[in-house]
Chains A and B, each alone.
Chain A
Amino acid sequence: MAIRDITTRTLAGISNGFGRLICLASTRDYNTGQYHHEGLVSRFSGDVAAAALAECHREIFQELVQRSLADLVAELEEYVVSTGACRADVVETWEKLQPYRVAIPMSSDRLSAELFFSNIRIGLEVLRFRQQHCSPDRQSS
């Protein structure tokens, strides 16, 4: 029930895999690793809501890990565009701060996590390369 609630309400407006991953990771406390979502807690108990968020987070992460590199880069590009920020800035920030490292679920195994990080690193390089070769000027979206 809680999982369905997350997919039909919380994630309904986010079609992009990275967007969903970041959204779910943002419901997790950086210090305790506990998931919390006000809307869900009002409908379910805290534990049920946290478990459902953790499960959805794990599923989306697995979905992204299983994507081919070409699909993942397309997904990443779509996410970068969806932020509405300057593409070059987003790519540079992701390369420097590596926010994707804290976006993975705690239950993920080391190999899947490393594969995911490696794919994103390559994906960001591809996006930078495309930007340099397709449009020398900075684009807003």
Chain B
Amino acid sequence: MKLRSKLFSAILSAMLIATLLLPSAAEAKKLKVITTLTDLASLTQEVGGDKVDVEALAKGYQDPHFVEPKPSFLLKLRNADLLVLVGLELEIGWLPPLITQSGNGKIQPGGQGYLDASQFAEILEIPGGNVTRAEGDVHPLGNPHYWLDPNNGRRIAKGIAAKLSALDPGDQAYFQQREQDFEKRLADADKKWMAEMAPYRNRKVVTYHRSWPNFAKHFGLDVIGYIEPRPGIPPTPSHTIELVNQMKREGVKIELIEPYFDLKTPNSIASMVNGKVVVMMPSVGGKPEITDYFKLFDYDIALLTKAFEETK
């Protein structure tokens, strides 16, 4: 009898403590956000704080044009309240059938939980007039690598904050406050990045893929050519020779490339022009130490300034 009442009071007090410690059911409910790229996940995390559960489908070191779908992608999409994607047809090779197959009505295109981040960003290289495709495999809607400009990061974060507020109006003030805080920290960081890049303003570079126009515009780099003859087409001999001659003429030493492209041609170009190949990370998580959107620019700018220094 004594033992039983002791046990009973122990259970009761344990339950009491549990109810005190655990947040109420309404508070515990977090928005489940799935993003295609890690960069969007990082921005969502900045804004959403502990009111959201964020996960990216692609890994930071993967080519976002080609991602091998896995069964878990479907499960994640099925349970998502919000899907944030880059858009501009970047994910067209793998995402659309997965969205359909997920059977999640909220995240279907046009749905309340479908957020195309490109609508908030400044998009470059939008083909004007009639798209003849004579320029190669251009994305007809503009260049989708737009998140590599901190100003766009700010704009996207603002858009995500508005969307989160719409989905969870009770936490609107929280999201707005976090978004403003993020904007402030980003502005401070950007000042530092701009200062670091200032000595190299208007330096000419070539890039492998057309992935860096927004980055180049923001930090004042002049991209004079691409190692790919057309986007998505591997380098051809005549194009490579032409590019080497142009680089020699204009004294260009730096080549920017993503980690998932073949380094053979860039390396041979580097040896011909006595230059340097810089493997820049296009996304958060490309290296273990790049854990968020800030560290992405920290990493790339450190690499780039070092390379500029070495090829003076």
Real binding pair: no
Chain B residues at the A interface, C-beta cutoff of 8 Å: none
